[in-house]
Chain A
Amino acid sequence: MIDLRDVSFALENKIILNKISLQINEGITSVILGPSGAGKSSILKIILGLWKPDSGEVIIDGHKTGKLSENEMLPIRQKMGMVFQGNALFDSLTVEENIAYFISQKKHLDEIEIRERVEKVLSFVNLSGTEKLYPEELSGGMKKRVAIARALSFWPQIVLFDEPTTGLDPINSKTILELINKLKEIKTTSVVVTHILNDALFIGDKLTVINDGSIVETGTIKDILNSTDKFVNNFFYEVYKDVDLINKHIQ
Chain B
Amino acid sequence: MSFLKKIIIKLQEYTFFQVDVIKHIDSFKDNWQDTLKEMYLIGTKAFLLIVLGGLFTGIILAIEIGHQLELFGATTLIGRTVALGMVRELGPVITGLLLAARTGAKNSSELGAMQLSEQIDALRAFGISPIQKLVIPRIVASLFMFLPLTLIADTSGILGGFLISNFTFNVDISFFWTSVFNALKMKDLFVGFLKPFFFAYFISSISCYYGLTTKGGTSGLGMNTINAVVVSSAVVLVLDFIFTKVVWELL
The answer to the question of A249 belonging to the interface, with a C-beta cut-off of 8 Å to chain B, is no
Q: Known contacts being A82-B122, A84-B122, A88-B122, is A105 close to B117, with CB within 8 Å?
A: no
User: Do A88 and B117 touch (CB < 8 A)?
Assistant: yes
Most buried by A among B121, B124, B126, B129: B126
**Could you tell me which residues of chain B, from 102 to 144, have a CB within 8 Å of some CB in chain A?**
117-119, 121-122, 124-129
A74 interface residue per 8 A CB criterion = yes
Nearest A residue (CB) for B130: A70
Residue of A nearest to B125 (CB): A82
In the complex formed, the residue of A with least CB distance to B113 is A91
A45 touches B (CB below 8 Å): yes
Contact B121 A84 (CB under 8 A): yes
Cβ contact within 8 Å between A70 and B126: no
Contacts of B121 in A (CB 8 A): 45, 50, 84, 88
Size band of the A side of the interface?
Answer: 10 to 19
Tell me whether B119 and A88 are in contact (CB under 8 A): yes
Q: Which residues of B contact A88 (CB under 8 A)?
A: 117-119, 121-122
- CB < 8 Å neighbour of B128 from A45, A78, A84, A105: A105
Q: Is A102 an interface residue (CB 8 A)?
A: yes
Contacts of B128 in A (CB 8 A): 102, 105
**Interface size counted on chain B using CB atoms at 8 A:** 11
- For A50, the chain B residues whose CB sits under 8 A away are 121, 124-125
Chain A 34-78 near chain B by CB (<8 Å), digits 1 or 0: 000000000001001010000000000000000000100110011
Closest chain B residue to A13, Cβ basis: B1
Cβ 8 A contact of B125, one of A48, A86, A89, A90: A48
CB of A18, distance to nearest CB on chain B (Å): 22
Q: How far is the CA of A89 from the CA of B114 in the complex (A)?
A: 10
Are the C-beta atoms of B126 and A84 separated by less than 8 Å?
no
How far is it, in angstroms, between the C-alpha of A106 and the C-alpha of B122 when the chains are bound?
A: 13
Contacts of A45 in B (CB 8 A): 121
Closest to B20 in A: A70
Q: Give the complex CA separation of A192 and B128 in angstroms.
A: 23
Min CB distance, A243 to chain B, in Å? Answer: 39
Min CB distance B117 to A, Å, is: 5
Nearest to B37 among chain A residues (CB) is: A92
Give me the 8 closest cross-chain CB pairs, A-B, nearest first: A88-B122, A88-B118, A84-B118, A102-B126, A82-B125, A74-B127, A88-B119, A77-B127
Q: Which residues of chain B have a CB within 8 Å of any CB of chain A?
A: 117-119, 121-122, 124-129
Show 12 A/B contacts (Cβ-Cβ < 8 Å), sorted by A. Answer: A73-B127, A74-B127, A77-B126, A77-B127, A80-B125, A82-B125, A84-B122, A88-B122, A89-B119, A105-B126, A105-B128, A106-B126
